[in-house]
Structure 1
Amino acid sequence: MKRYRAVFHLTEIERANLALNNVNNLLAELGEDQVDIELVTNSEGIKALLKAGPYRDKVGDLAAKGVRFVLCSKSLRALKMKEEEFITIAEVVPSGTGELVKRQTEGWAYVRP
């Protein structure tokens, strides 16, 4: 059976709900066991992964379904935020853009809600 891979790119906090809904819809359509999904956040999009943010529960539910969440360390520094402010399941990478390029080079579908 075919395995799908999609990397979602979130740069704007205002689009967080749309991005998370898109991820959930893709899981529902293709099947949780048939798709690998990663949500890469950078710029203001990192705020979707705040511990005290409004998306915490939705992010937790998606993580339980196997979705990987990524924070850009350059955005953390630029916005003067600390890693401790974010959900523990979020992985910090050196660069969100670098992560996107790596995934696309590996053949992942790029989605920008």
Structure 2
Amino acid sequence: MKRMMMAAFLALAPVAGWAEGIVHKIAVHVDDGDPRVLHMALNNVQNMASYYKSQGDTVQVEVVAYGPGLVMFLDGKSPVSDRISTMSLELEGLTFSACGNTLRKMSEKAGHDVALMDEAVVVPSGVVRLVELQEQGYAYVRP
């Protein structure tokens, strides 16, 4: 039992090994298209990155959007496109993942391919991606 508890703790603990200190792995869940929520998600990312940098640590953050939250990555329609472009250049270890299921359904409804911002990478399923990240020891944040 003690070994199982220690193994569970180690799986959830931040990863050591970068020269700066500890690497904190964080998955940010976005499924709401409200601009306030989108800005809050990006504020969370910036605040975490700033805090951990001040501690000598680094972060790996993956923002995963699906459903109505996919508006976050829509080319020409995202209310946070400027922030995403800037943050992707400023923050190492920041990834933006777009749900392929949602994108396919949006494209079918529109009758044409819906374009995403260059910063977004399509994953097969946003929900599955969040599960995978948590299985890899990522902390889960939902603004």
TM-score in terms of structure 1 length: 0.91
Between the aligned partners of 2:32 and 2:106, the Cα distance in structure 1 is 13
The match for 1:24 is 46
Map 1:44-83 → 2, pairs under 5 A: 44-52=68-76, 53-64=78-89, 65-66=91-92, 67-80=94-107, 82-83=113-114
**Equivalent residues of 2:29, 2:63 under 8 A apart:** yes
Q: How far off is 1:62 after superposition?
A: 1.6
1:27-72, Cα deviation, whole Å (9 max, x unpaired): 1111296000000000011101122122111001221113100000
Q: Which residue of 80, 92, 97 corresponds with 2:122?
A: 92
Structure 2 stretches of 5 or more lacking a match? 1-20
Greater relative CO, 1 or 2 (CA 8 Å, sep 6+): 1
User: How many aligned positions are there?
Assistant: 112
* Structure 1 residue ranges, 4+ long, deviating more than 2 angstroms after superposition: 78-83
The match for 1:6 is 26
- AA matched with 2:26: A
The match for 1:35 is 59
Q: How far off is 1:79 after superposition?
A: 2.3
**Equivalent residues of 2:84, 2:119 under 8 A apart:** no
Computing the radius of gyration from Cα coordinates, the structure with the larger value is 2
Structure 1 stretches of 5 or more lacking a match? none
Q: How far off is 1:17 after superposition?
A: 1.0
TM-score in terms of structure 2 length: 0.73
Between the aligned partners of 2:134 and 2:32, the Cα distance in structure 1 is 21
Most deviating of 40-49 and 50-59: 50-59
- AA matched with 1:103: L
- AA matched with 1:13: G
Between the aligned partners of 2:41 and 2:135, the Cα distance in structure 1 is 22
